[in-house]
Amino acid sequence: MKILVCGHNGQVAQALQKHLAGLGELHVLGHQQLDLAAPERLRTTLRQLAPKLIINAAAYTAVDQAEQEPERAFAINADGPRLLAEEAARLDAPLIHFSTDYVFDGNKPTPYTENDVPNPLSIYGQSKLAGERAIAAVAGKHLILRTSWVYSQYGRNFLLTMQRLLQEKPQLRVVDDQIGAPTWATTLATSTRTLIERWQSGEAGAWGTYHLTAQGATSWFGFAQAIGEHLKARGQPCAELLPIPSCEYPTPARRPLNSRLDCSRLAHEWQISLPHWQQALIDCLK
């Protein structure tokens, strides 16, 4: 089976390259070969390749920069996925697409389900929601997987930034009123493999939108604490951590205070079991 992975150097794309090995003929294309913001070239490449499965791990993820570049954010996060969905439907190939907790405003006091009405606070969130809706409107075989707080050993992410800053600075102030589930990119990749295997074996659940994050929840401060504990256990220097509210760390884009996602539908429909965020972090740090 010919599998196209859109994205090359991103955290999820790198994890997918490792964990989808053996499932088929894997084609991993970065933006140089597959630019989601260049529709004609994108369409041509897809028709030449003619994959049997498309996985979109590419996205515009610069949340704050998107406030100044809305057109580019929408081109990559909405227009590109719409074209992927159209071509996937033409090929009768499923499309697996990754989305985000940022489609919600964070005002709900409990974890969000797939039935909750999105209300993004930022351009980034709006562009990702537009991509979700564009894919759904095409009505082909698709899985939209919303996740949150992705980290890994690669690229730029909270884990790597904290590891560096905790060893460089005597004191760090970290936001403590935004709650979510830190999710290891490997968790996303291995879960995606299981979804593909279920589909290949005829055990697929319903197509549609699902939430896919690690179990449990914490704040960015709690996440930083867990990273710091690992550093201290290894005898490495670790800054003093101070919890602060979001208002003391202003950013161009507003973030949801509650990013918790209810993943029970994925467990019920596709029998996907997910690790607790603390265990996944331990496994990643090993």
Which pLDDT score, from 0 to 100, does residue 246 have? 95
Residue 124's pLDDT band (cuts 50, 70, 90): very high
pLDDT at 196 over 90: yes
Mean pLDDT calculated for residue range 90-118: 97
Quick check: 30 pLDDT over 90?
A: no
Check whether 154 has a pLDDT greater than 90. Answer: no
Whether residue 203 has pLDDT greater than 90: no
Confidence of residue 25 (pLDDT cuts 50, 70, 90): very high
Q: What is the pLDDT of residue 33?
A: 87
Cα separation, 237 vs 5, whole angstroms: 39
As a whole number of angstroms, the distance between CA 198 and CA 226 comes to: 34
Please state, in angstroms and rounded to a whole number, the distance separating the CA atoms of residues 93 and 51: 7
| For range 146-170, the mean pLDDT | 94
Residue 8 has pLDDT above 90, yes or no: no
Q: What is the pTM of this model?
A: 0.95
Q: Hey, what domains does the chain have and what are their CATH numbers? A: 2-155+182-215+260-275 (3.40.50.720)
3-state secondary structure 174-221: EECCCEECCEEHHHHHHHHHHHHHHHHCCCCCCCEEEECCCECCEEHH
Catalytic residues: 124
Output the CA angle 9-270-12, nearest 5 degrees.
5
> Residue 156 burial (CB < 10 Å; 0-12/13-18/19+)?
exposed
pLDDT recorded at residue 277: 98
pLDDT grade for 209, boundaries at 50, 70 and 90: very high
Asked whether residue 44 carries a pLDDT value surpassing 90, the answer given is yes
> In this predicted structure, what is the pLDDT of residue 31?
84
- pLDDT tens sequence across 225-269: 999 999 999 999 899 999 999 999 999 999 999 999 999 999 999
User: Among candidates 153, 161, 280, 271, which has minimal Cα distance to 217?
Assistant: 280
Question: Which whole number is the average pLDDT over 90-112?
Answer: 97
Under 8 Å between Cβ of 281 and 215: no
